[in-house]
Amino acid sequence: MIETLNLVKSFDSENGNNYLIQAVKDVSLKIREEEVFGLIGTNGAGKSTLLRMVAGVLKPDGGSVLIDREPVFDNPEVKKQLFFIADDPYFFPNSTAEDMKEYYSGVYRAFNGSRFESYLKDFGLDPDRRIANYSKGMKKQLAILCGVCAQTKYLLCDETFDGLDPVMRQSVKSIFANDMSERGLTPVISSHNLRELEDICDRVGLLHKGGVLLSEDIESMKLNIQKIQCVFMRDEDEKTALEGLKVMNVEKRGRLYTITVRGTKDEVTERFRGIETVFFEILPLTLEEVFISETEVAGYDVRKFILA
């Protein structure tokens, strides 16, 4: 398990006026094994800084990062359990994919060279071509393949799918799913796009201005928030129907009500059982709708800083 405890990290401002910019503010998270954890937030929210501290690349100013109860910073043995894929992956100057295979084979004892070569062929990446001549998407693909074939327990991915076309995104997600099933991989994936992660993540954390607004299990969130669309027989029935429900939002267009409430589907169905309606339906929520509902209750409007 990965644990971050009250993490804090600041950087000097670029204009040299000794002003500190706090990139991460008191972040505490628990990332369980063999689940996909999605870290959501806009550019500047602190995602990259947080992942670099989890990877042991940056030292926190305060707090700690534990990997399986061991501190990660300045701990080579713990770092062997994780692979960090940066938003802008680094490769040695003039290196080829074959060169990177040789390098990572020396760093990670379990690096699977034959699997790596097979993936290069499947993805259409020339092992002898200089990586500097790869496109942005090809470089991102190569970094992902290096990470997967390193066979580590944890894979930290900063904006992993940025620069990949839809087919490649699905291919990468399939590889992650296979490794989770076959060897217990735990991917941690950051993104600024909610929809990009909805079909792969088990749990999602929302980062805003360096702090965590929300960290929840996706299925639990969806099961406990319901979206109702209905047309009441009489206008006064609205008040009767909503009494006793934890209403999060109500919108009305003409006679059609769209109501978001906190509770189970059975609770909502039971509440509306004695209410006469012209039309009544409980609709599934998208991850984006869940986040909008949760953050609006907390006093934020997620639509202002998460554009899916």
pLDDT digits (tens, 9 = 90+) for 187-242: 999 987 777 777 788 898 888 778 887 788 888 777 888 999 999 998 888 888 88
Beta-ladder partners of 227: 260, 283
Beta-ladder partners of 191: 40
Q: Write out the two tokens for 152.
A: 């580590």
Beta-ladder partners of 162: none
* Torsion angle of the four alpha carbons 87, 91, 94, 99, in this order, in degrees rounded to the nearest 10: -140
Question: How is 11-77 classified by DSSP, letter by letter?
Answer: EE-TTSS-PEEEEEEEEEEEE-TTSPEEEE--TTSSHHHHHHHHTTSS--SEEEEEETTEE-TT-HH
Spatial CB neighbours of 211, under 8 Å, sequence gap ≥ 6 = 25, 26, 27, 46
* Mean pLDDT, range 18-35, rounded to an integer: 86
Question: How is 129-169 classified by DSSP, letter by letter?
Answer: SBGGGS-HHHHHHHHHHHHHHTT-SEEEEESTTTT--HHHH
Residue 17: band (very low, low, confident or very high) from pLDDT cuts 50, 70, 90? low
The pLDDT assigned to 15 comes to: 62
Are 46 and 180 in contact, with CB atoms under 8 Å apart? Answer: no
Give the closest residue to 7 by CA, choosing from 43, 38, 51.
Answer: 51
The pLDDT assigned to 284 comes to: 82
Cα of first residue to Cα of last residue in the chain, in angstroms, is 29
Q: Where in the chain is the domain with CATH 3.30.70?
A: 224-304
Q: What is the pLDDT of residues 99-157, one digit of tens each?
A: 999 999 999 999 999 999 999 999 999 999 999 999 988 999 999 999 999 999 999 99
Beta-ladder partners of 156: 84, 188
| Fold adopted by 224-304 | Alpha-Beta Plaits (3.30.70)
Match 């589907």 to its residue by tokens: 265
Match 């291919």 to its residue by tokens: 171
Residue 62: band (very low, low, confident or very high) from pLDDT cuts 50, 70, 90? very high
Q: Where in the chain is the domain with CATH 3.40.50.300?
A: 2-215
Are 5 and 28 in contact, with CB atoms under 8 Å apart? Answer: yes
The pLDDT assigned to 3 comes to: 94
Q: What is the pLDDT of residues 182-201, one digit of tens each?
A: 999 999 999 877 777 777 88
In this structure, CATH architecture of domain 2-215: 3-Layer(aba) Sandwich (3.40)
Q: How far apart are CA 113 and CA 118, in angstroms?
A: 9
Spatial CB neighbours of 10, under 8 Å, sequence gap ≥ 6 = 20, 21, 22, 23, 61
Q: What is the pLDDT of residues 69-107, one digit of tens each?
A: 999 999 999 999 999 999 889 999 999 999 999 999 999
The pLDDT assigned to 33 comes to: 92
Task: State the chain's mean pLDDT as an integer.
Answer: 88
Positive or negative torsion for Cα 178, 113, 122, 98: positive
The pLDDT assigned to 229 comes to: 94
> What percent of the chain is predicted at pLDDT more than 90?
54
Q: Is the pLDDT of residue 16 over 70?
A: no
